[in-house]
């Protein structure tokens, strides 16, 4: 590289860094004061709201427990909020909104069986002590890091991500199965699940169109639709191994701390497998090695 190009590159790099810092400070100056003005909570119940995607709700649970401090949790889902932007070409089952009435129907059978969670319903006129979507008001680059840790940065709390924060009765019917979920979003290039055809039983959980997309690649692939998220969690908990990308089923696997393998999306690696049983990949040889080490 000639000297002039070196100078121009150095100038551009410094300019980009300064511009990012200016944007960070500008957003930070308008962020809500969540520390200096803590909510006044009377009684032994704490009201939380969430307006994010279903996976985000699961990832917020460690923060809920930390903020509740042993009190009962009432979770109110704020419905019909506009979806955050996806990369061009990506789509979401809920379309242009993040949560709807169906989301509440799917969540309630799972969350209402969890320790200290008393309420799971759509937000109406309830007083909210903690808005778990408040991290969007801060200048995080939400494409990076780990979603579960955004809440630590937002509320100044320590959270436990090593131990399970979701508990269900495992479904023993899937003890011999590799359970797979792969949404059309967050797929790493040149990754194929075809090698799973050599294993005796592979079961797909997810949407029908996702199954139809995967069926030609994995011979003998079974499909298991579910009635609600509790049923889905029980299947994942009972599986021999769970494999998924950065979509809702992996959030359940991460919360359950089952033996799991995560396909990390290189453009937005904001989900990580933490703690016992967690494995990650974004390259084919490593993917096949991990599965072989765990199953063969």
pLDDT single digits (tens) 74-110: 999 999 999 765 455 545 565 578 899 999 999 999 9
Does 8 have pLDDT greater than 70? no
- Looking at residue 93, what is its pLDDT? 62
Confidence band of 7 (pLDDT split at 50, 70, 90) = low
With a cut of 80, say whether residue 29 has pLDDT above it: yes
Mean pLDDT of 271-295: 96
Mean pLDDT, residues 234-249 taken together: 97
Confidence of residue 170 (pLDDT cuts 50, 70, 90): very high
Q: What is the pLDDT of residue 231?
A: 98
Quote the pLDDT of residue 11: 65
pLDDT at position 116 over 50: yes
Look over the chain and give the mean of its residue pLDDT values, rounded to a whole number.
Answer: 91
Summarize pLDDT for 192-221 with one digit per residue, the tens: 999 999 999 999 999 999 999 999 999 999
Residue 134 CB partners (closer than 8 Å, separation 6+): 32, 34, 154
Tell me the mean pLDDT in the region 45-62: 96
The residue-averaged pLDDT of 240-255 equals 97
Give the global pTM: 0.90
Q: Of 16-30, 150-164, 279-293, where does mean pLDDT reach its minimum? A: 16-30
Q: Is the pLDDT of residue 35 over 70?
A: yes
Query: What tokens were used for 279?
Result: 């494995």
Q: Which domains does the chain have, with CATH numbers?
A: 45-155 (no CATH), 172-295 (3.40.50.2000)
**Rounded to an integer, what distance in angstroms lies between the CA atom of residue 269 and that of residue 142?**
9
**What mean pLDDT do residues 253-269 have?**
97
Residue 86 has what pLDDT? 47
């Amino acid at each position: 590289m000639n000297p002039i190009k070196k100078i121009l590159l150095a100038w551009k790099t410094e300019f980009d860094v300064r511009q990012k810092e200016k944007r960070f400070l500008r957003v930070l100056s308008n962020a809500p004061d969540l520390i200096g003005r803590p909510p006044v909570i009377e009684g032994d119940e704490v009201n939380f709201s969430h307006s994010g995607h279903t996976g985000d709700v699961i990832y917020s649970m460690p923060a809920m427990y930390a903020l509740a401090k042993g009190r009962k949790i009432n979770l109110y889902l704020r419905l019909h909020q506009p979806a955050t932007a996806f990369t061009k070409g990506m789509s979401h089952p809920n379309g242009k909104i993040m949560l709807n009435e169906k989301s509440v129907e799917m969540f309630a059978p799972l969350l209402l069986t969890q320790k200290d969670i008393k309420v799971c319903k759509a937000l109406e006129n309830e007083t909210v002590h903690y808005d778990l979507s408040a991290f969007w008001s801060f200048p995080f680059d939400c494409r990076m890091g780990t979603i579960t840790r955004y809440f630590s940065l937002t509320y100044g709390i320590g959270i436990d991500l090593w131990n399970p924060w979701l508990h269900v009765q495992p479904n023993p019917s899937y003890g011999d199965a590799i359970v797979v979920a792969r949404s059309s979003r967050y797929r790493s290039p040149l990754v194929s699940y075809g090698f799973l055809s050599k294993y005796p039983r592979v079961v797909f959980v997810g949407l029908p169109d996702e199954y139809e997309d995967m069926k030609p690649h994995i011979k003998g692939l079974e499909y298991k639709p579910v009635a609600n998220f509790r049923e889905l969690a029980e299947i994942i908990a009972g599986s021999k191994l769970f494999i998924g990308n950065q979509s809702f089923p992996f959030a359940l696997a991460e919360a359950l701390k089952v033996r799991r393998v995560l396909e990390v999306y290189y453009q937005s690696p904001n989900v990580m497998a933490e703690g016992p049983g967690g494995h990650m990949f974004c390259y084919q040889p490593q993917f096949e090695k991990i599965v072989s080490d765990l199953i063969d």
